Structure 1
Amino acid sequence: MIGLIDCNNFYASCERVFNPKLEGQPIGILSNNDGCVIARSNELKPLVPMGMPAYQIQPKIRKQITLLSSNYELYGDMSQRVFDTVRNYTANIEPYSIDEAFIQLDGFSDIPDHCQKLRAIVKRDTGIPVSIGVASTRTLAKLANHIAKKQVIHQGVYCLATNTTSFIDTLKAHAIDEVWGVGRRIAEKLQTLGIHSAWDLHQADLKQIRQQFSVVLERTVLELRGIACIELDDLATPKKNIMTSRSFGRLTGDLFDLQEAIRMHACRGAEKLRRQQSVANAVAIFLKTNHFRKDLNQYHPSIVVPLAVATDDSRLIVHAAQKGLQAIYKKGYLFMKAGVMLLDLKAKNSNSQYDLFTDESTVTWQQKNDQLMQTIDNINRKMGKNTIQLGGTQPQAPWQIKRQLLSQRYTTRWDELPLVK
C-alpha cells in the first residue's frame, strides 16, 4: 500500500510552531513583495479568497487577521524536519513537494493504526499537523488524502480500498479536475466526452483515452482501477527552458542594481540546470517597466545571447547574461522586473561537448569546473542559499523582494533563534 502524507496548511503551521499565539487565528501568507495571499489557514479561508491582493482586503477584516511575508527559509527547513522524522518510521519515502511525500506502507499489520501513530510522532517532534491518505496507487492515495484532510470524522487518516462499497461513491463524489495529473485543459476535453467525475474516468475505454490523449492519462485510468503504474520519475521530466525572474521591491533604473539582479537570476537558473543534469545553449535576458504607470516611459527589451559551448557553469552563464544586459540597457527608464531564461536545454553528457579535435587540457578544465560547481551547490544546500555566490549583493537593493511582514528564520539563523522566557 502507498500513503500520501500531507502537511496541513503547511506555511501557516510553520509559523504557529514558533509563535503559539497564532494558534486558532486566521493567518495568510503573502507572495513575493507582499502582493497576494498564496496560503491560508482554515480560519482565514471563509474571510479571504486565495490569490486576493493584500491591498484589497477590507480594513475590518484586516484587523481580524494576521498577514505574514513568505518565509521560505523556515518552510524549507521545517519540510526537511518533517520528512526526516517520517523516514525513521517507514521503509521508503518519496518527497513530492515541500509539504507532500509518498510513503511505502507494505509490511504493517495494521496500517491505519501505524498512520495514526506516525501523525502523532510528526506532531510531537516537529509541531506540524499532517494528514495521510492510503491506497494501492499514488493517484488513489491523493484522493484518499483529500478525504482525510477534509472529513474530521477520519481523524487525519483515510484508507481507500478498491474492494469496498464506498469506493464507487468516493470516486463519483470527486470531479474530474480533482484527479491527480488531470489539468484544466484535459478536464475540459474529458467533459466534452461525458467524463465528469473520477468514476467516469475509471470506467473510460483505455484505447480511446490513449488515442485521444496520451499514455500518461491511460496510466491514470489504470491507477484509478487500483493498478499501480505511475512512478514519480514519470512526472519529473526535465524542463525544456528554465526561467528565473522576480518583480523588484521598488522601481530602479540604475545599471548596477540591474546587474546584481541579473547575476542572481542567472546563478539561480544555472543551479536549477545542474539539478536536472542539463546544459544550456543560449541565455535570454529581459527587462520590464511598469505598464500600469502611464506617467512613466515604457520599455520592455529582451535579447538572446548564444553560448560558445553548451554549459551549466554559473560563471559562463552570468557572463553571457551581463553581456546581454549591456546590449539592451538604456538610461531614462525605471524598471520593475528583470529575468533570465536558459534556452535550448539538453541532457548533460560528459562527452557530448567534445570531438576528436578537442584538446586534453580542455577536458581537464571542464572536469575541474564541474567539481567546482558541484562543491558550491553542496555547500549552499547544507549551509543555506547564497552562502557562496558570485559577487556581493546590497542588503537593501531595489531588486530585493519586499518582505515587510517577515517572521524570524528561527531554525537557520543564529541571530534569529527563538527566545525562551
Structure 2
Amino acid sequence: MAAREPVFALIDCNSFYCSCERVWRPDLLRTPIVVLSNNDGCVISRTPEAKALGVKMGAPYFQIKNDLRRWGVVAFSSNYALYGDISQRVMTVIESLVPALEVYSIDEAFADLTGIAGAEPLGREIRRRVLQCTGIPVGVGIAGTKTLAKLANHAAKRWQKQTGGVVDIRDPERRDKLLRALDVGEVWGVGRKLQAHFEGMKIKTAWDLAQTDPWMLRKKFSVVVEKTARELRGTPCLQLDDPDPPKQEICCSRMFGQRLKAIEPIREAVASYTARASEKLRAQGSLCKRLRVSVRTGMFNPEEAKYANGVLCELPYPTDDVRMLTAAALAGLDRVFREGYNYSKAEILLLDLCQRGEYTADLFATTQPEASERVMSVLDEINAKWGRGTLRPGRVTSSPEWGMRRELMSQSFTTKMDQLWRVPSR
C-alpha cells in the first residue's frame, strides 16, 4: 500500500494581542488598535485598521503617541496573563478537532491532517469553532509541507475577503501560482539579510527559490535553506515536532518600570524573578545546581553613569526550593550592587539543570529534603487552583513600585476574580 501524502495545516490567530483586547471590548470591533511592549515601549501588535493608517511594527510609542491619538487609534499595554489564557483556550479548541497538534507559538500551531478527507472544509470548521468559542479570528493554510502551509496561511490572511480565511494549495497549479505571487521575503525563515543575499542572486520570489538548486543552497548557506527550497517544491522535510525537551537554562529578566537607586526594591525584584524562574523549573521537573544574578544600568543615556555586573552562586545541592534559590540570589545581589547608580534591569539565570534521577550525588553529600519537595508541591497546587501569586514568598510583593510600566493595560478578565467582565444592568 502506498504511503499517504502528508497534509499540514497552519492555524494562526489574526493580530492576536489586539484580537484578545477586542474580545472584551466589542465596541472596538472596527476601531484601529495597537498593543505595546514591556514598559509601553513600542508597538508589537496592530490591527489591519492601524496598519492602513501607517503605524509601523516596532514604532516607539513616545514618538507616535500624539499621532495615534489624532488618528483615533486605541493603545493597550501588554496583558500577558490574559493573552496566555486565551491562547490556551484557542489551542484546546483546535486540539479537539485534529489528530495531532504542534503549538508553534502563543498564536499559531501546526496540525497534521494526513489521511483526513475534506481538509479544506475542516479548516473552515476550525476557523468557525475557534471564533465561536473564543472570539479570536484565525487564518488557516493547508499544504503538503510545513513551509508551504505557512505561505498558504499568509495568503489566507492577506486575501481574507476572497479566501474566507482558508487557503489550500495542495494542488500544484494553485501552489505555483501563489509562489510566483509572493516575494521571497515572505518565506518562513527568510530574514532581511538572507533576502538581500537572494536578491543578489536574482532570487526575488518564492517561486525563484523553489527552482534554485538545493545542493547549491546548502553549500552557500546551510542545510536549513536547502530544506526550505525542497519544501517549497512540495517535498516534506519537516515533521510535527515532539514535545520540547527540558530546558538546560531558565532565565527571568525584566526592565524596571523606573530607575532604581536603593537596593531594597531591587531585592524585591530579584526575589520576584527568582520565584517565577523556580516555577518554570518545577514545571519541567528539574533541579538547579547553580544560578547567576546580574544587574545593570541603562546603557543609552550618555548623561548616566554605566555599570553592569553579575555573579555565579553555588547551591549546596540541586534544588527547586524557591526559598533556597531566593536566599542565594539575594546574597549574590549584595555582592554585585554598587551605590550611586540608576539601575534599570535585573536578571536571574538558573544553570546546570538536571532531572531527578539524572545525577549521582556523593555518598555523603546533602540532598534536598523531602519536606522541601512537599512544601513546593503544595505551593504549586494552590497557585494552579487559585491563580499565580496566590501563595508566594514574603519578599515578593503583589503590586511593586518597580514593576513594568503598563499605564494602558486592560483588566485581567479571565485570570482574576475581582476583574471579571461585568455587564451593566439596565
| TM-score where L is the length of structure 1 | 0.87
Aligned-partner Cα distance in 1 for 2:123–2:286: 38
Aligned-partner Cα distance in 1 for 2:373–2:12: 36
Q: How many residues align?
A: 415
Q: How much does 1:115 deviate?
A: 1.8
Aligned positions of 1:269-288 closer than 5 A: 269-275=277-283, 280-288=288-296
Mapped contact 2:39–2:406 kept (Cα < 8 A): yes
Aligned to 1:351: 358
Identify which of 330, 334, 350 aligns with 1:322: 330
Identify which of 139, 143, 160 aligns with 1:135: 143
Q: How much does 1:259 deviate?
A: 0.7
Matched residue of 2:9: which SS?
strand
Deviation readout 1:246-299 (Å, 9 max, x if unpaired):
111122222221111111222323333455565555422222223455555443
Aligned to 2:396: 393
Aligned-partner Cα distance in 2 for 1:59–1:90: 46
Identify which of 56, 63, 78 aligns with 1:49: 56
Deviation readout 1:110-162 (Å, 9 max, x if unpaired):
2222222221222122111111111122221111100001112101000011x
Aligned positions of 1:1-400 closer than 5 A: 1-47=7-53, 48-57=55-64, 59-63=66-70, 64-151=72-159, 152-161=161-170, 163-187=171-195, 195-233=203-241, 236=244, 241-275=249-283, 280-293=288-301, 296-343=304-351, 345=352, 347-348=354-355, 350-355=357-362, 357-358=363-364, 362=366, 365=368, 369=372, 373=376, 376-377=379-380, 379-400=382-403
Cα pair distance change 1:347/1:169, threshold 3 Å: farther
Mapped contact 2:79–2:410 kept (Cα < 8 A): yes
Mapped contact 1:204–1:221 kept (Cα < 8 A): yes
Matched residue of 1:405: which SS?
coil
Matched residue of 2:325: which SS?
helix
Matched residue of 1:301: which SS?
strand
Residue identity matched to 1:245: S
Aligned-partner Cα distance in 1 for 2:378–2:204: 50
Q: How much does 1:305 deviate?
A: 2.6
Matched residue of 1:233: which SS?
coil
Q: How much does 1:401 deviate?
A: 0.9
Deviation readout 1:49-101 (Å, 9 max, x if unpaired):
11112111152531311111111111111112222222332222222111111
Aligned-partner Cα distance in 2 for 1:213–1:386: 47
Aligned-partner Cα distance in 1 for 2:404–2:100: 37
Matched residue of 1:4: which SS?
strand
Residue identity matched to 1:180: W
Cα pair distance change 1:278/1:383, threshold 3 Å: same
Matched residue of 1:82: which SS?
helix
Mapped contact 2:145–2:234 kept (Cα < 8 A): yes
Aligned residues: percent identity? 40
Mapped contact 1:202–1:225 kept (Cα < 8 A): yes
Residue identity matched to 1:157: V
Cα pair distance change 1:373/1:97, threshold 3 Å: farther
Residue identity matched to 2:21: E
Mapped contact 1:251–1:398 kept (Cα < 8 A): no
1:414 matched to 2:417? The reply is: yes
Matched residue of 2:142: which SS?
strand
Cα pair distance change 1:142/1:275, threshold 3 Å: farther
Aligned-partner Cα distance in 1 for 2:248–2:195: 24
Aligned-partner Cα distance in 2 for 1:39–1:55: 16
Identify unmatched segments of 5+ residues in structure 1: none
Residue identity matched to 1:405: L
| TM-score where L is the length of structure 2 | 0.86
Residue identity matched to 1:32: N
Q: How much does 1:174 deviate?
A: 3.3
Task: Compute the RMSD of aligned alpha carbons.
Answer: 3.0
Aligned-partner Cα distance in 2 for 1:238–1:182: 28
Residue identity matched to 2:38: N
Q: How much does 1:108 deviate?
A: 3.7
Q: How much does 1:383 deviate?
A: 3.7
Deviation readout 1:296-320 (Å, 9 max, x if unpaired):
5443333233444455543333222
Aligned-partner Cα distance in 2 for 1:189–1:27: 35
Aligned to 2:4: none
Identify unmatched segments of 5+ residues in structure 2: 1-6
Aligned-partner Cα distance in 1 for 2:195–2:128: 37
Aligned-partner Cα distance in 2 for 1:234–1:189: 32
Matched residue of 1:141: which SS?
helix
Cα pair distance change 1:248/1:89, threshold 3 Å: same
